[in-house]
Amino acid sequence: MEINKTMSFMRSLCMGEIEQDIIYPFPKMKNSEKEMLTGIFSSLENWLKDKGGDFRKWDRAGELPPEFLQEMREMGMFSLIIPEEFGGLGLSSTGYSRMLQELGKYDGSVALTVGAHSSIGMRGLLLFGTSEQKAKYYPKLSSGEMIAAFCLTEPGAGSDAASIKTKAVLDGDHWVLTGEKLWITNGGIADFFTVFAKTEGTDGQMTAFIVTRDLGGVSCGPHEDKMGLRASSTTTIHLDQVRVPKENVLGEVGKGFKVAMKILNAGRSGLGGGCVGGMKHLIELSTKQAKERSQFGKKIADYGLIKQKIGHMVVECYATEAVVALVAGLVDQGYEDYAVEAAISKVFGTESLWRTADEALQIAGGNGYMCEFPYERIVRDCRINRIFEGTNEILRLFIALSAMSDVGAQLKELASSLEGIFNDPIKGFGLLSDYGRKKLSQVTGVGGSKKTFTQAHPRVKAQTAIFEEGVRDLSVAADRILRKHGKNIIGKQFATKRLADIMIDLFALSCVISRVSTSIHENGEIVAEKEIEILTVFAGQVRRRTKSNFGKIDDNDDELIKSLANHALDKEKFIWDNV
Ligand SMILES: Cc1cc2nc3c(=O)[nH]c(=O)nc-3n(C[C@H](O)[C@H](O)[C@H](O)COP(=O)(O)OP(=O)(O)OC[C@H]3O[C@@H](n4cnc5c(N)ncnc54)[C@H](O)[C@@H]3O)c2cc1C
């Protein structure tokens, strides 16, 4: 059966449908790509394995030295997603994500320099470039002669990207760009910039432009002194009457917001891969540390509280890798609507890495706090992940509200169908929409073949049942929240976040079920035993978390919390003092 590639697994899930063909079997990397990457990884190891001291030094200095940048060029680090005919490696989304995973194991600043170039800096050219634009820029981008940067954020426009002030005014065959972009990764080393500006004559809409340093009028501020990822270049970019030829428009004039969102969505497999790499590295460090360090006459690895941390790290790493690889697989298989799933992978991966880094530092004790060891740097490095490429708050709102808008549209249809029922019950029933029928079947228990994940392996039936029950509860909850708040749901962020958290958990669980089931099918139950244990733990965590979140829809302290926040905001301090 041909699968409809316009469908989104998560959007369907919120309506109570499990489109299992989208996520099962678990996607695999092509053999040819696997072989190529295996070779590259061993070169990477030779190149980077002894550079731990340098990475620490460069973090302190706040810069990657030019000689190392040159080595990165020679190692092909800027050619990853550029098609082979233009001198690139032509990696798929899966291969690219895997590559960033490998780099993430060595150093965050190096991974970010590569990631900002490929994930967002030149991604617009790949997605929206004309053949002339590609022919002109790909060779230089591939060799690293040109490093790329993505310029959206401005002093007054962070999460609210649509409020940018950079202007583009048409003058003959050129757009003249003026404005200031803030905190641009690779700003100090890039020559190719994907710039977003409000375009004259488009009713306040923005447009994406290719801007190159040689156009004149492009300058960058000093290196920002940052908490983490210190060796990666972050600067402001000033655009002073930059004359950009008309042919440098990326996509359509006035459609820049869509371009920006598509770039960020498509680039998420890189950041996700980096998170997985970081987690794998931390598990290696923590297990070695726990086996080396003795206290109270025993290795700390023998204590339950240390085992608890390491066990959770393993579960989180497996789940994150499952989510990131599945989303990359969706992109590679040509699914068009993966924005919600990609947003989930960003939130889930960045928060899992954060918890893992924090616990790894805890296992290392005081050593973890010392700059001589890598833990404190990794904690500093990974903190930004929850802020850039869409803050996790904004992405949670996006995840839940995208699903709500679908349910809302169906509810409208349902309302008119129900009107029909009351006017003429027999005819009206015929008018009942799919959604209405589904709701009826949820109540009556009749029909609905898509409510079960039948392809999951029978060995993980109990864990799959947790997922299926969660999906039923989710669609009922989405419906109930929407009926309760209607259009006002936009302002109900406590409720929206809860729904997003449930969706994140259920998507991650579906990915883990798919991964483990595929592994059992291919390798047998005995080989997959440890993976089944991981799934069992994760499914239990998801069941307990979602149960709590569902319960809080009606039983919560939201209004009291809001009242306390308003009080603090009003006083601008904590007013109680027991002295
Ligand atoms: C190291 C680094 C590298 C970066 N690289 C780039 C780059 O290469 N290119 C680029 O364009 N940008 C880049 N950025 C900018 C980054 O994308 C922004 O910092 C990010 O989008 C958040 O914007 P902001 O910092 O202005 O925070 P704000 O948007 O001011 O948000 C502040 C807080 O309020 C929350 N918030 C905002 N709106 C809402 C809302 N409606 N509801 C609930 N909560 C809300 C946010 O989640 C956040 O917690 C980089 C930033 C850093 C620090």
23 Cα to the center of ligand 1, angstroms: 31
Backbone torsions φ then ψ of 341, nearest 5 degrees? -65, -40
Best residue among 152, 153, 192, 264 to mutate for probing ligand 1's pocket (most ligand atoms within 8 Å of CB) is 153
Give pLDDT, residue 416. 62
Q: Whose CA is nearest to atom 52 of ligand 1?
A: 183
> Would you say the CB of residue 20 lies under 6 angstroms from ligand 1?
no
Residue 162 buriedness (CB in 10 A; 0-12 / 13-18 / 19+): middle
Report helix, strand or coil for 218: strand
Torsion angle of the four alpha carbons 481, 485, 488, 494, in this order, in degrees rounded to the nearest 10:
-50
Architecture of the domain whose range is 417-566: Up-down Bundle (1.20)
Structure tokens, 285:
């460090």
CA–CA separation, 560 and 349 (whole Å): 31
What amino acid is encoded at 532 in this protein? I
Hey, whose CA ends up nearest to atom 40 of ligand 1?
A: 394
Q: Is the CB of 185 under 6 A from ligand 1?
A: yes
Class of domain 258-393: mainly alpha
Which CATH code for domain 25-143? Answer: 1.10.540.10
Strand partners, 181: 237
> One fold for both 149-255 and 417-566?
no
Look up 389 and say whether it is catalytic.
Answer: yes
Q: Which residue's CA is the closest to the ligand 1 atom numbered 6?
A: 184
Verify whether ligand 1 is closer than 6 Å to residue 184 (CB atom).
yes
Q: Which atom of ligand 1 is nearest to the CA of 226?
A: 1
- CATH 2.40.110.10 is right for the domain spanning 149-255: yes
Cβ(226) to ligand 1 under 6 A? yes
Write the single-letter amino acid at 81: I
Q: Where are the domains of the chain?
A: 25-143, 149-255, 258-393, 417-566
> Which residue of the set 154, 341, 376, 389 is catalytic?
389
Residue 246 has which token pair?
């008309």
What tokens does 388 get? 């850039």
CA distances in angstroms from 476 to 55, 432, 442, 553, listed in the order given: 51, 18, 9, 12
d(CA 375, CA 380): 9
**How far is the centre of ligand 1, averaged over its atoms, from the C-alpha of 535 (Å)?**
34
Residue nearest to atom 16 of ligand 1 (CA): 388
Among protein residues, the one whose CA lies closest to atom 48 of ligand 1: 391
Average pLDDT across each block of 10 residues of the chain; the chain has 579 residues. List them in order. Answer: 84 93 96 97 97 96 97 98 96 97 95 97 98 98 98 97 97 98 98 97 94 98 98 98 98 97 93 97 98 98 98 98 98 95 98 98 98 97 97 96 80 59 44 54 53 96 98 89 81 93 98 98 98 98 97 94 98 94
Q: Is 391 in the pocket of ligand 1 (CB under 6 A)?
A: yes
If DSSP codes are grouped into helix, strand and coil, which group holds residue 373?
coil
